[in-house]
Amino acid sequence: MLIIFLSLIGLFISFHPALPKLHFTFQVAFLFMLWLLLLYMLFFMTLQLLFFPKGVAIDNVNQTLTVHYFFMRPNIILATDISEYTTTKLITRSTNYEGVLIRLKTGRKYLLDDINLSDYKPVKVFLDDSKVNFTGHEKFNNFRYFTTFFKYK
């Protein structure tokens, strides 16, 4: 969708009657900046597809969470491997999403929120029932989450 949108803007700039008066290098520079914006946005969308879970399966019998991703194999998390969890809020232009940030004993974090799950509250109930330490509210940082995703195995 971004490619189509930015291509249409580029065509509009190239063929607009008032814009041919502008120098050709300005038009090329503007189109180049639009394509850089497109690559920037595609990069972050790809990161979200790779690192944000698309779903979670809760197994109360075995006390496990199975975190599913779009392009990676599922991760099974034992409740005993979770050191703590915090509530968090992701703020976008249109709305605020709530969720939980699970931290394992190894240091790895998992974000489970309303953006990628239909409802994160069953996960919170599972964590409370499993007596996982709740440490309050934490401000979510996309950059820190992406950079530390593979740091801990």
- Per domain, the residue ranges of the chain are 2-50, 53-147
What CATH number has the domain spanning 53-147?
Answer: 2.30.29.30
The pLDDT value given to residue 83: 92
pLDDT greater than 80 at residue 95: no
What is the tens place of the pLDDT at every residue in 2-16? 667 767 776 766 666
Report the C-alpha gap between 138 and 105 in whole angstroms: 17
Rounded to the nearest 5 percent, the helix, strand and coil shares of the chain are 40, 30, 30
pLDDT of residue 78: 92
Amino acid 70: pLDDT: 82
Contact 101, 153 (CB under 8 A): no
Contacts 24+ apart (CB under 8 A), 103-106: 104/77, 104/152, 105/81, 106/81, 106/152, 106/153
CA–CA separation, 134 and 45 (whole Å): 30
Confidence (pLDDT) at 84: 92
pTM over 0.85: no
Give DSSP secondary structure letters for 7-18: HHHHHHHHH-TT
16-57 per-position pLDDT tens digit: 666 555 566 776 777 788 778 878 878 877 777 777 788 888
